[in-house]
């Protein structure tokens, strides 16, 4: 199947003086170039994952990096056969990733960045601990071999878990996440809490898969688009997750069809069809559960969705 689309994952911590004005301009740019996805704008920077034609995405990367504030933005690029998103949302928020650590400025101080090859060479050394800073549903389906994981439902819970890491203060701590953004705040916070030797995998799991073959990453990587998970390891792949229903090995990530439950868990194909995408008979019995198509991903209804919604100037007023 020909892959004429790209999916871009990126972030950049850099001061934005007027986030609202920037959001307006950026939203319009994405509309005019038929880009879809989710982009967060904050006074501390940008965080986005978008899809579009190869030509539109390549121009987008060029234009973003032409702004001196975002010149060092590292784009993770994956080819795809279609749009990975149905909608476009460009929003202003207090932080580009919700952490409750808004006082930290990674562009001033954060953990030492490691390239995928540097991370690969360092991760198995005796005085090193590899720390996964992602949520449970993410590391349950895939993580680095021998990595330390934290029992957290959301990244904002990370600061409360740092006290459990006191025993590792004298070690080299290598943090990692999906694309690198959470590590910027996580490693900065570890430094603030007295950890001396803190590093982060630059570009995250996605870049490690692209540039280092994903060696020793076990399972799949959870992603925040309609693919749900992606393969990372082309060297020594394995499956580490189990079907939430029957316990057999499975790395098929599914969102429970019950929208109230909405658990993100691995469910094998057989159980998926048997329970119509639900994670339990109880969730299957819910009258308004979502229709299961075998993917485990449920696109929210368009509900009068207007891609120009939120613009202070109407798109058709600008283009006519």
Which residues are part of the catalytic machinery?
177
Cα–Cα distance for residue pair 109/193, rounded to 1 Å: 13
Long-range contacts of 158-165 (CB under 8 A, 24+ apart): 158/99, 158/133, 158/182, 158/186, 158/189, 159/99, 159/100, 159/101, 159/189, 162/189, 162/190, 162/193, 165/131, 165/190, 165/195
Q: Cβ contacts of residue 163 below 8 Å, gap of 6+?
A: none
Query: Rounded to whole angstroms, what are the CA distances from 5 to 36, 41, 48, 54, 203?
Result: 11, 24, 16, 5, 21
CA nearest to 224, candidates 130, 155, 302: 155
Q: Give first-to-last CA distance, the chain, whole Å.
A: 37
> For the chain, how many residues are written?
320
For tokens 């940008």, the residue is 46
Q: Give 286's strand partners.
A: none
Cα–Cα distance for residue pair 253/290, rounded to 1 Å: 16
Which region holds residue 16: left if phi is over 0, alpha if psi is between -120 and 50, else beta? beta
């Amino acid at each position: 199947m020909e892959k004429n689309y790209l999916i871009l994952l990126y972030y950049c911590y850099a001061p934005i003086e007027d986030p609202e004005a920037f959001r307006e301009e950026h939203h319009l740019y994405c509309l005019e170039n038929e880009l879809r996805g989710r982009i967060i704008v904050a006074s501390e920077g940008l965080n986005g994952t978008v899809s579009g034609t190869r030509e539109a995405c390549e121009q987008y990367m060029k234009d973003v990096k032409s702004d001196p504030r975002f010149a060092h933005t590292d784009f993770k690029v994956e080819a795809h056969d279609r749009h990975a998103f149905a909608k476009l949302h460009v929003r202003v928020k207090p932080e580009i990733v919700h952490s409750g650590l808004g006082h930290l400025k990674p562009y001033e101080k954060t953990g030492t960045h490691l390239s995928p090859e540097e991370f690969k060479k360092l991760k198995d050394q005796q005085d090193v601990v590899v720390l996964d800073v992602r949520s449970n549903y993410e590391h349950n389906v895939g993580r680095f071999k021998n990595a330390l994981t934290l029992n957290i439902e959301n990244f904002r819970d990370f600061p409360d878990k740092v006290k459990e890491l006191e025993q590792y203060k004298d070690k080299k701590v290598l943090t990692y996440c999906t694309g690198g953004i959470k590590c910027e705040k996580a490693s900065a916070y570890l430094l603030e809490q007295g950890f001396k030797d803190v590093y982060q995998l630059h570009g995250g799991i996605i870049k490690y898969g692209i540039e280092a073959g994903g060696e020793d990453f076990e399972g799949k990587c959870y992603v925040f688009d309609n693919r749900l998970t992606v393969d990372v390891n082309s060297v020594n792949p394995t499956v580490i997750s189990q079907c939430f229903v029957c316990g057999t090995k499975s790395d098929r990530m599914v969102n429970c069809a019950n929208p109230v439950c909405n658990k993100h868990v691995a469910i094998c194909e057989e159980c998926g069809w048997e329970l119509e995408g639900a994670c339990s008979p109880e969730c299957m019995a819910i009258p308004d559960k979502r229709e299961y198509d075998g993917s485990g991903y449920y696109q929210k209804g368009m509900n009068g969705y207007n891609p120009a919604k939120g613009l202070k100037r109407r798109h058709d007023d600008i283009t006519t």
